[in-house]
Amino acid sequence: MRVLGIDPGLTRCGVGVVEGSVGRPLTMIDVGVIRTSAHLPIAERLVTIERGIDAWLDEHQPEAVAVERVFARSDSSTIMGTAQASGIALVAAARRGLPIAMHTPSEVKAAVTGSGRADKAQVGAMVTRILRLDAPPKPADAADALALAITHVWRGGAAARIEAARADAAVRSAGQRKVVRTR
């Protein structure tokens, strides 16, 4: 499974592509940051983010997109821009019909480090280890995007297998009912 992780932000929007499956080593395909200038009007900044995400989607052809769920922090001045960038990411993925998952920061930290209270350095260190990189991706927004993609591969893959097993069980159960009825 190839997943594009997006850590939304108005100034720095982290993007990272990871490929792999549950129980197998994951591979980083690409990582980066879409940057916008604080001196530009918000609408122009959002267009820049949209074009950047579209370019990543076109280039890497992910099977799913994982976006960090926006939550209210103590610094309310960044919430609106983060939410706007998140909306752009959701629209770009939805336009292509891609499955979208939203993961909370604590969910991502717990999946990658084992603790929902891990700091940025711990997340970066574990992303480096999980993906067998030489150094943590910089800035932290890039590492966070990879962590989102990793979380989705691990959790999304497991959820997909559970759903497939349920569907298979339902088909078998329906087949058994037909057999019972024909006797």
Q: Give residue-wise pLDDT tens across range 116-169.
A: 999 999 999 999 999 999 999 999 999 999 999 999 999 976 565 566 667 677
Report the share of the chain in percent with pLDDT over 90: 77
Question: In sequence order, what are the residues at sequence separation of 6 or more whose Cβ sits closer than 8 angstroms to the Cβ of residue 166?
Answer: none
d(Cα 17, Cα 150) in Å, to the nearest integer? 9
pTM of the predicted protein model: 0.86
How is residue 33 annotated by DSSP? E
CATH number at residue 50: 3.30.420.10
Q: Is 68 annotated as a binding residue?
A: yes
> Position 23: which residue type?
G
Number of domains in the chain: 1
Q: Is 141 annotated as a binding residue?
A: yes
Domain of residue 171, residue span: 2-182
Query: Helix, strand, coil proportions of the chain in percent (round to 5)?
Result: 55, 15, 30
State the catalytic residues: 7, 68, 141
